[in-house]
Chain A
Amino acid sequence: NAGVTQTPKFRVLKTGQSMTLLCAQDMNHEYMYWYRQDPGMGLRLIHYSVGEGTTAKGEVPDGYNVSRLKKQNFLLGLESAAPSQTSVYFCASSYELAGGSSYNEQFFGPGTRLTVL
């Protein structure tokens, strides 16, 4: 199993450009998440999904959009990149515990380092 993979690993954008980050998991997990990590700020949730075709906003959703058309993929889009979006982006997935929906341990991808000039 590859686990959680992220594409690309690095990217440099100019202000106003757009891009899509791809996350893929091969563990058949229901839940997927996008986080950004900035120095001293820990992990902040951008958007998440509890299943195919569903998405929801997290703590810092402004400037980002997401889609989950297939269970194994979760895309994060930046329509018009800004320098404030310079960060390391992590995707994660988790499975539903037996007995009902409940957020459990998360499996993380290796991250995408994005710089917006």
Chain B
Amino acid sequence: AQSVTQLGSHVSVSEGALVLLRCNYSSSVPPYLFWYVQYPNQGLQLLLKYTSAATLVKGINGFEAEFKKSETSFHLTKPSAHMSDAAEYFCAVSERGYIPTFGRGTSLIVHP
């Protein structure tokens, strides 16, 4: 059965600092993995996805994530936070043939 855990419901960083949002998954088969971003009062939009190609995945707005099978992790990073990155971030896992399961989300707070 697939599941996903996002460590930390809130992450606070200063503008210009490294952003690290953690996601660990459980899956019995090679999964698809996704990161979505939700800005206030909007729907979710895809940041990036892993579908068994390159383990380092680059997404929009300077974000990237690395698939680490040995650690069952898919952490999201950005070298330098911008005020506009403040949003809710969701990690999702999908075993092939199954509907994605979403984590509970991590709220990114960016201080000036």
Residues of A within 8 A of B (CB): 4, 33, 40-43, 45, 48, 58, 90, 92, 101-111
Say yes or no: A108 contacts B90, CB within 8 Å. Answer: no
Q: Max chain B CB contacts within 10 Å: which of A4, A103, A109, A110? A: A103
* Closest A-B pairs by Cβ, 9 of them: A108-B43, A42-B104, A43-B102, A108-B44, A42-B102, A110-B43, A103-B94, A105-B46, A102-B96
Residues of B within 8 A of A (CB): 9, 32, 34, 36, 41-46, 49, 90, 94, 96-100, 102-105
In-complex Cβ contact of A45 among B34, B96, B99, B105 (8 A): B99
Say yes or no: A111 contacts B96, CB within 8 Å. Answer: no
* 12 examples of A-B residue contacts, CB within 8 angstroms: A40-B104, A42-B102, A42-B105, A58-B99, A92-B44, A103-B94, A103-B97, A103-B98, A103-B100, A105-B34, A108-B36, A108-B45
Using CB atoms, name the residue of chain A closest to B98: A103
Please name all residues of chain A whose beta carbon is closer than 8 Å to the beta carbon of B103 when the two chains form the complex: 42
Interface secondary structure of B, over-half rule = loop
Q: Max chain A CB contacts within 10 Å: which of B34, B42, B43, B44? A: B43
Given contact pairs A92-B44, A102-B32, A108-B43, enumerate 19 new A-B contacts (beta carbons under 8 Å). A4-B43, A33-B99, A43-B44, A43-B90, A90-B44, A101-B97, A103-B94, A103-B96, A103-B97, A103-B98, A103-B100, A104-B94, A105-B34, A106-B46, A106-B100, A107-B46, A108-B36, A110-B42, A111-B41
